[in-house]
Amino acid sequence: MIEIWKQEFVIAHTACLTRSFRHFTGRDLLQGNGATFPLAKTLFEAPFVVVSHRLEPDPILNYGNRAALELWEMSWEEFVRTPSRLTAEAPARAERARLLEVVAQHGFMDDYSGIRISRSGRRFRIERATVWNLISQTGEPLGQAATFRDWKFL
C-alpha cells in the first residue's frame, strides 16, 4: 500500500493548501515551501492539525494529516468519507456553519475556537485555529481548510 503522502491527490492537494494559505493570510503554512513531493510528506507528518473539505452542500472531508487522523481517531479511508459536519457535535454545528460562511466571504479567519468530537465520542476544544478558503491556481473556489496546534480534551 502506498504511503498517504505519496498519493498523487495528496501531493497536488498539499500544493493547493499551502498556496491558498499564503494567498489569504500572507503567511506560510510550512517553512520552506518547496518541491511538492517533500512538502506533502512534511505537511502530513507535521506536529499540528491540517484538515480540509470540498465544496458541496454537505462537504466531505478530503484531507487530514497524521495529527488530524489521530485526533479524530480515524484511518485515512474513514476520514475522507466523513461529512465535515460530523466532526462537531450536533449542538455545535450551527456555530460551525456560521464560521464557514464568514470564511467563505472573507477568505480566512484566525483565532477560531470550538468544540469537536472524535469518532469514539471523545470531545475536545480546538483553540487558535486558522480557517481559510481553498482556491485553484486560477482562483476558483475548491473548498475550505483549517489548521491548529492547540487542543484540550474535555
pLDDT at residue 100 tops 90: no
The residue segments making up the domain with residue 123 are 46-153
| Residue at 19 is within a domain | no
What phi-psi label fits residue 46: left (phi over 0), alpha (psi between -120 and 50 degrees) or beta? beta
> Cβ(26)–Cβ(47) under 8 Å?
no
- Summarize pLDDT for 50-75 with one digit per residue, the tens: 999 999 989 999 999 999 999 999 99
Residue 69 dihedral angles phi and psi, to the nearest 5°: -60, -40
| Residue at 18 is within a domain | no
What is the pLDDT, as a whole number, of residue 111?
A: 86
| Residue at 3 is within a domain | no
What is the pLDDT, as a whole number, of residue 38?
A: 87
| Residue at 37 is within a domain | no
Q: What's the CATH code of the domain at 99? A: 3.30.450.20
pLDDT at residue 128 tops 80: yes
| Residue at 139 is within a domain | yes
Q: What is the pTM of this model?
A: 0.91
- Pairwise CA distance, residues 151 & 88, whole Å: 14
